Every structure is written in structure tokens, then in C-alpha cells.
Amino acid sequence: MIVLFTDFGEVGPYVGQVKAVLVRDAPGVPVIDLLHDAPMFQARASSYLLSSLIDVFPTDVVLLCVVDPGVGGSRAPAIVEADGRRFVGPDNGLFEVIMRRANERSFRRITWQPDSLSASFHGRDLFAPVAAMLAQGKDVPSEERPEEEARRPHWPDDLHEIIYLDTFGNAMTGLRAKNIPQTAEMVINGHRLTRSRTFSDLPEGGAFWYENSSGLVEFAVNQGDAKTALGIDIGSSFTIDAA
């Protein structure tokens, strides 16, 4: 299958055009929309988010990932293989966390170019055809490069920031819950949140943090909107009080 992870949004022609190329170039290959509201223009936040969402997919999947504010510029087009999964997209840090947490990985720069390449839509013209080739077992002209060229070693292992807001206003963080004591409190914008197992453990309107289904620390309000209640947005930082 081919899995799509982008910041294109659900409105507009972009996702539809990418899918049209995939159907044209890889007929019969299933295409899965993972999400199209990744943090807009924010490769770093998207890197932590992407890494948390891939465990449900088989190891032979191709993930077409586009959060690409530098499209048409100097950043390279890349193929990353990490523990059997292949990722196609821009070399701008988007795959850093995937590579960091993989046991086996490789990094290739794509050298193939289509006959027609828009300066501003590589998702459709470059990355989609490459993903289609990979999904069909075809070789893609590319050159293997030292993985260090793609890495961001100065990024933290866990990110103490909001990296995603869902339609309910729940706020995912870049922090893995397994590394945090259950008694820890999260402090953000003057609000102090204790851990609960799930929404219904609190009364309506109660704010809390919990381990979400992807293993991340998430801030939420039972039957409410954490974004509004806590005054937060993507990029908002927080601290941990583990006492």
C-alpha cells in the first residue's frame, strides 16, 4: 500500500491530484490517507508526529510524506528506508525521528526527474511517481548517501511542545508517555494537569493529560476543547513537574 501524510489540508485540489498520479502510475495499489493536516510548514513537529503513527502499518509499506516549505529550493528529494518501511519526501528533517528510532536505516537522494516538474508541487510531480514505482517493486534512480547528511542530531529525543491538534481540540505532544512517571504533572500556560487514564475518569470540562493511542502525552478536556481551554496551539511548550 501507499500511505499519505501531508500538510495539504482536506480542502483544495492537492490531495486529489496526488491520488490521481498514484492511480495512474500504480493501478490497483491501495492508497491510504493517514492525515493531511500535519503541522503546516513545520517539518520538525511533523517528524515527531509521523514517527508516532506508523506502527499500525506493515513493514513493506511505502509512505509518501510531504511537509515541504522549501519546495523547489536546495533541499533534496529523498527515499528513507527504516526497519523495512520506505518513506518518500523532502530531506528537511521530516524523517529524522523515524531514522533515529529505527534499528536499520538507509538514506538515498532521488536523482530521477519527471518530464515535467512544477517548481511548487513536487508532491504530485516527483514524490508521487517515485512512491508508485517503489510500491510496484521498480527501481528508482537514486544515489545512496551517508545517513549523517539527513540527520538532525541537535533535535531532542522527545519534544516538549504541542505537535498536533485534532478536530476535538485535543493536543498531542512530542513526548512519549512511557518515559514519564504517572504521577507527573504537566504545566502549560499556568495550567497544571494531572494524569487520567481516559476522558470519562473526569467530570465534564475537566482538563488532564493521558497516554494517547499512539503512546504520546496528550492534553485534553472531557467533552471540551483543550486548545481553547488551555490557550494553546501547535508549538506551545510545556514543562514537567515530576515531584
Q: For position 21, which CATH number holds?
A: 3.40.50.10790
Q: Which pLDDT belongs to residue 73? A: 95
Last residue of a domain, one of 102, 117, 150: 150
Q: Does residue 129 share a domain with residue 180? A: no
Q: Which pLDDT belongs to residue 243? A: 66
Structural domain of 134 = 2-150
Q: Which pLDDT belongs to residue 242? A: 84
Q: Does residue 77 share a domain with residue 14? A: yes
Q: Does residue 136 share a domain with residue 116? A: yes
178-219 pLDDT, tens digit per residue, is 999 999 999 999 999 999 999 999 999 999 999 999 999 999
C-alpha 171 chain-centroid distance = 14
Q: Does residue 32 share a domain with residue 93? A: yes
- Name 36's Cβ contacts closer than 8 Å, sequence gap at least 6: 4, 6, 7, 8, 9, 10, 15
All residue ranges of the chain with pLDDT < 50 are none
Last residue of a domain, one of 132, 150, 168: 150
Across 125-184, the runs of DSSP E, i.e. the strands, are 142-145, 159-165, 171-176
Q: Does residue 141 share a domain with residue 57? A: yes
Question: For residue 238, what is the enclosing H or E element?
Answer: none
CA distance 234 to 176: 17
- Total domains, the chain: 2
At how many degrees (to 10) do helices 128-135 and 14-25 cross? 40
Q: Which pLDDT belongs to residue 107? A: 98
Q: Does residue 168 share a domain with residue 64? A: no
